Amino acid sequence: MTTDWKAQEARYYMHLVNRQPVVIERGEGVRVWDVEGKEYLDFTAGWAVVNLGHSHPVVTAAIEYQAARLIQTSNQFYTVPQLELAEALIESCGLDKVFFCNSGAEANEGAVKLAKKYGRLHRDGAQEIITMLNSFHGRTLAMAAATGQPAYQERWKPLTPGFVNVPYDDLEAVKQATTTATAAVMVEPVQGEGGVNVPTEGYLKGLREWCDANGLLLIFDEIQTGMGRLGTLFGHQSFDVEPDVMTLAKALGNGVPIGAFLCKDSCDVLEPGDHGSTFGGNALATAAANATVRYMIENDVPGHAKRVGAYMRSALEAFMAAHQPAVADVRGMGLLLALQFDDTIAAKVVAASNEEGLLLNPVRPDAIRFMPPLIVSEAEVDEAMAKLDRGLARALASGDA
């Protein structure tokens, strides 16, 4: 390798993230290789995106086929992949209609527009959305207001009005924040970026009942929990609670950018002129997503994720028992898992694990997140645990956190 990619980045690219020192060139299944040919187990999966693994042959074939036929028209015309994808999604959940866009933030923006229109038509003009502290809903300006992270919000004030942030996993707080101005409640079934937080039994059901009793829409942001991650195709199916509106993105196209928001017929209020997207639902992205969704369903990938997720959870619990007191907790669901340390050593553990050939995410200063491709095998989990063991030992041996 002759090019110094780190120097190239410093010279040409905006410095918005402190990258891990790995230049990834190629991926296959659960593994990626850097430009020097070093192999890694990828337990970040492109940020919970490549749920079928890197370069999945079925998705690659769909992309190749569609790229050679038609990539983009516009939503002025019908295209077959878009409608096939719509059918695949709607026929596998309790929602009735879908609209495609290009990212998670954009899906949430669409869902919020829908809720505002619903409030205008059916709740006396109510325009407010209750969202949760420690949530993550995306990087647009409206989503900065929806995302309940006061430190991040500070730098974008004045914030888009119309969002009220209350503590997560606190039904009483939602009840108290509800007024005649409230149109909807938006929540992640399990908080992802917030540190992998699973709500207590009854919270989501309680939200459902409260929304029903008060005529509010319940919006689930399933951008991270959807597409099999929690062990069911959609996360809410693991909790047996149905939303009125659901948003998807991340793993929907197994890496090809696509987002979606879905709603029940009872709140299907958007009409021509209300919303749109140039690229949204384009033939290439929907062909990739259609292949992804159908493969996932036909091969029960969520069921596999549930089984391997349980296996990995036991492995993490054994790891915790073997590493007292450094490892303080294991949490998560399906293949969205986290390890809590008793100190702010996550970045060091991740750096040392990278060197051992395992890619991880320090989701908090004192916690790491595991979000491998859902096709990961038990043997690959064992391999990752061995690398993590060496990574933790090195991080602890290196002294101050």
Ligand X SMILES: *Cc1c(COP(=O)(O)O)cnc(C)c1O
- Selected from 136, 163, 239, 370, the binder of ligand X by CB under 6 A is 136
- Of 87, 86, 115, the closest CA to residue 99 belongs to 86
Strand pairing partners for 99?
261
Choices 3-11, 90-98, 198-206, 221-229; region in contact with ligand X by CB under 6 A: 221-229
Secondary structure element (H or E) that encloses residue 269, with its range: none
* Nearest-approach distance from CB 105 to ligand X, in angstroms: 3
Q: Please indicate whether residue 136 is annotated as part of the active site.
A: yes
In the complex with ligand X, which residue's Cβ is closer, 281 or 391?
Answer: 281
* Residue-wise burial string across 74-91, b where 16 or more C-beta atoms lie within 10 A, e elsewhere: ebeeebebbebbbebbee
Question: CA separation (Å) from 25 to 32, 38, 112, 186, 392?
Answer: 7, 10, 37, 37, 26
Based on the shown chain and the rule CB under 6 A, indicate whether residue 27 belongs to the binding site for ligand X: no
In the complex with ligand X, which residue's Cβ is closer, 103 or 286?
Answer: 103
- Selected from 27, 138, 255, 334, the binder of ligand X by CB under 6 A is 138
- Of 240, 270, 118, the closest CA to residue 184 belongs to 118
Based on the shown chain and the rule CB under 6 A, indicate whether residue 221 belongs to the binding site for ligand X: yes
Based on the shown chain and the rule CB under 6 A, indicate whether residue 185 belongs to the binding site for ligand X: no
- Selected from 223, 230, 233, 375, the binder of ligand X by CB under 6 A is 223
DSSP notation for 90-149: HTTSS--EEEEESSHHHHHHHHHHHHHHHHHHHSTT--EEEEEBT----SSHHHHHHSB-
Choices 155-163, 220-228, 302-310, 340-348; region in contact with ligand X by CB under 6 A: 220-228
User: Taking CB under 6 A as the criterion, which residues in 148-167 touch ligand X?
Assistant: none
By the 10 Å C-beta count (0-12 exposed, 13-18 middle, 19+ buried), 149 is classed as middle
User: Taking CB under 6 A as the criterion, which residues in 88-107 touch ligand X?
Assistant: 103-105
Q: Please indicate whether residue 221 is annotated as part of the active site.
A: yes
Pairing relationship of beta strands 259-263 and 97-101 according to DSSP bridges: antiparallel
325 prior amide bond cis, ω within 30 = yes
- ∠ Cα 44 39 312 (to 5°): 45
- Selected from 34, 42, 109, 188, the binder of ligand X by CB under 6 A is 188
Based on the shown chain and the rule CB under 6 A, indicate whether residue 261 belongs to the binding site for ligand X: no
Based on the shown chain and the rule CB under 6 A, indicate whether residue 369 belongs to the binding site for ligand X: no
Based on the shown chain and the rule CB under 6 A, indicate whether residue 353 belongs to the binding site for ligand X: no
In the complex with ligand X, which residue's Cβ is closer, 186 or 267?
Answer: 186
Structure tokens at 274: 């209300």
Q: Which of 43, 99, 136, 163 is catalytic?
A: 136
Residue written as token pair 């079928």 = 52
Based on the shown chain and the rule CB under 6 A, indicate whether residue 285 belongs to the binding site for ligand X: no
Based on the shown chain and the rule CB under 6 A, indicate whether residue 109 belongs to the binding site for ligand X: no
Residues taking part in catalysis: 136, 221, 250
Site for ligand X, rule CB under 6 A: 103-105, 136-138, 188, 192-193, 221, 223-224, 249-250
